[in-house]
Amino acid sequence: MTDQPVRLLLADDHPVVRAGLRAVLETEPGLVVVAEAATAEDAVARAARGDIDVVLMDLQFGKGMGGAEATAAITARPGAPRVVIVTTYDSDADTLPAIEAGATGYLLKDAPPEELAAAVRTAATGRTALAPAVADRLMNRLRAPGTSLTRRETEVLALVAEGLSNQAVGRRLHLTEGTVKSHLARVYAKLGVDSRTAAVATAADLGLIRR
């Protein structure tokens, strides 16, 4: 790193959260908040200007594009800034799409200020910064791949948890009802359960889907 400050973009739809992040980060030497964005679309547009080093990105925005989608759009450009997800959600259904989209870091909103600042500096150098709970879960997935759900299995089960029927899940994910049933069958086998209710409960307990 040079002596140049790390230039930040704060992307969150809650003004109070943005103000809190700004208050924490602007007290840190070498960090400067250049801009804020209240929507994911605005974050993508602002990040493209070329004067941002790290984007702090929420996962859930009220409407329109989500944080993972915005992360993919930002990181797809040459010379793109790094993206650090800052969210309240730590389930596999949240973390995996964000990391696959190109996020360099993933923190929870209850992280101590010093952990947040350290993660920003780490991301600015191109290294990965993960919340301990997220890092632990990713390591567990690597150690026991046979029991971890695929991205698609996680998506299917998350929609089942919302109360959708197999047919409705299929429509949402553009899959046939038979394909949805096949995914669920594999989920049941991996989790050692024999019903939708048990699969949802077990997956939530394991942190695979959001409670």
| Comma-separated ranges of CATH 3.40.50.2300 domains in the chain | 6-140
Are residues 66 and 78 in contact, defined by beta-carbon separation less than 8 angstroms? no
Structure token digits, residue 190: 């991996």
| Comma-separated ranges of CATH 1.10.10.10 domains in the chain | 145-205
What pLDDT, on the 0 to 100 scale, is given for residue 1? Answer: 44
Amino acid making up residue 8: L
**Residues 6 or more apart in contact with residue 90 via CB below 8 angstroms:** 108, 131, 133, 134, 137, 207
Burial of 181: CB neighbours in 10 Å, binned 0-12, 13-18, 19+: middle
Percent of the chain with pLDDT over 90: 69
Structure token digits, residue 202: 């077990």
**Per CATH, is 145-205 categorized as 1.10.10.10?**
yes
CB atoms within 10 A of CB 91: 19
Q: Which fold has domain 6-140?
A: Rossmann fold (3.40.50)
Q: Which residues of the chain have pLDDT under 50?
A: 1
Count the residues in the chain.
Answer: 211
